[in-house]
Amino acid sequence: MAFKSGFVAIVGRPNAGKSTLVNTIVGRKVAIVSPRPQTTRNRIQGILNRDDAQVVLIDTPGIHKPDNLLGRQMMGEAEHALECVDVVSLIVDVTVEFGAGDRYSAQWLRRFHGPAFLLLNKVDRVRKPMLLPLIERWRREFEFAEIFPISALTGEGCADVVESWIDKLPVAEPHFPADQFTDQPERFLVSELIREKALQATREEVPHAIAVFVDRFEERRDLVKIMATIYVEREGQKGILIGRSGEMIKKIGTLARKEIELLLGLRVFLELMVKVRPNWRSNRAVVRQLDWHRQLEQMAGGEDFAEQAPAGEIETEPED
Ligand code: GDP
Ligand code: MG
């Protein structure tokens, strides 16, 4: 049988059970829990490797009604992610009554043109007959390719979901070496951690305006040497991030380093730089760099982002 390989987005409101499902399916703790889900960009949650298939599970920014410009921006990123995936799975908590948020999720799904699954999660907590009206309710909102009652916690129904996902994936070579990327790519996790610490440390004075790229990731015997660049849009933001006599960037570095050490189980040497890239969010070259698919390709190929980007397109300010 031909090998199948592709991307599955798992979407759903906070607490629906996304992380639990990923952990159950991938079989180990991989999904990072974020205290502020709405700031999470597209990322790999886990990779399921089988003899006949590779399923890359990705997370997208939470589905929520955008009430401001930033929110719309995040939704834009979520839509962008939809263009790159093979299957979308909407996971919902059956113990929570169908509401306006669910109707919004269904509308949101219409932007996706591939197969969409509905996963009715936490069925271990309800009696089965109550599922039927709920399924009917959802059917009126959206035409799902498949609907599965599951329990991400006990694993009930999850094997069937995986089989159906694989059914919908294209025949393709694996996107990642099976042994190398059984986990979230470390570089990407590290960049997300640094971004999180930068937002926390600055008390979100520079929300969403920053992007973090790991330029170097060198593993020594008992030490990992990491060099990363935080990109901002304006000089003022750079000033905030660096702080008076470098205090802020030092604090961000320390916070991030501690958590990266926990994550990797190794001592970490972390060096951070801050650079200004005006309007990086509306710059195609930069947004392409941020795109998870490209990031992965580049990580898999061991290439460097900085060298990849056509310099003229994004170097709108001289390097410091
Ligand atoms: P996420 O925010 O969508 O990632 O949701 P989590 O995976 O963090 O789950 C939120 C809460 O629901 C956690 O306390 C889980 O233990 C619980 N949970 C998730 N799936 C199930 C399930 O199938 N059954 C039950 N009873 N609880 C679940
Ligand atoms: Mg989660």
- The domain locations on the chain are 4-168, 186-316
Cα of 247 to ligand 1 centre, how many Å?
39
DSSP secondary structure letters along 238-293: HHHHH-GGGHHHHHHHHHHHHHHHHHHTSEEEEEEEEEE-TTGGG-HHHHHHH-HH
pLDDT of residue 101: 86
Taking every pair of C-alpha atoms in the chain, what is the biggest distance, in angstroms?
65
Q: What is the mean pLDDT of residues 228-248?
A: 91
Is 168 or 112 the better-scoring residue by pLDDT?
A: 168
Of 28-32, 106-110, 187-191, the poorest mean pLDDT is in: 28-32
Q: Which CATH number fits domain 186-316: 3.40.800.10, 3.40.1710.10, 3.30.300.20, 3.90.79.10?
A: 3.30.300.20
pLDDT of residue 41: 38
Cα of 34 to ligand 1 centre, how many Å?
14
Pocket of ligand 1 (CB under 6 A): 12, 14-20, 121-122, 124-125, 151-153
pLDDT of residue 31: 41
pLDDT of residue 285: 56
Q: What is the mean pLDDT of residues 256-285?
A: 81
Is 257 or 80 the better-scoring residue by pLDDT?
A: 257
How large a percentage of the chain has pLDDT more than 70? 68
DSSP secondary structure letters along the chain: ---EEEEEEEE--TTSSHHHHHHHHHSS--PPP-S-GGG--SEEEEEEE-SSEEEEEEE-SPP----SHHHHHHHHHHHHHHTT-SEEEEEEETTS---HHHHHHHHHHTT--S-EEEEEE-GGGS-GGGHHHHHHHHHHH---SEEEE--TTT-TTHHHHHHHHHHHSPB---SS-TTTTSS--HHHHHHHHHHHHHHHHTTTSSTTS-EEEEEEEEE-SSEEEEEEEEEESSHHHHHHHH-GGGHHHHHHHHHHHHHHHHHHTSEEEEEEEEEE-TTGGG-HHHHHHH-HHHHHHHHHHT--HHHHS-HHHH--S---
Take atom 6 of ligand 1 and give the residue whose Cα is closest: 17
Cα of 33 to ligand 2 centre, how many Å?
5
Is 6 or 205 the better-scoring residue by pLDDT?
A: 6
Q: Which atom of ligand 1 is nearest to the CA of 152?
A: 23
Is 215 or 272 the better-scoring residue by pLDDT?
A: 272
Confidence of residue 37 (pLDDT cuts 50, 70, 90): very low
CATH architecture of 4-168: 3-Layer(aba) Sandwich (3.40)
Q: Is the pLDDT of residue 282 over 70?
A: no
Q: Which atom of ligand 1 is nearest to the CA of 37?
A: 2
Q: Is the pLDDT of residue 154 over 50?
A: yes
Is 259 or 69 the better-scoring residue by pLDDT?
A: 259
Take atom 18 of ligand 1 and give the residue whose Cα is closest: 17
How large a percentage of the chain has pLDDT more than 90? 37
Q: Is the pLDDT of residue 254 over 80?
A: yes
Q: Which ligand is nearest to the CA of 22?
A: 1
Pocket test for ligand 1, best of 10, 11, 15 (most atoms within 8 A of CB): 15
Q: Is the pLDDT of residue 88 over 90?
A: yes
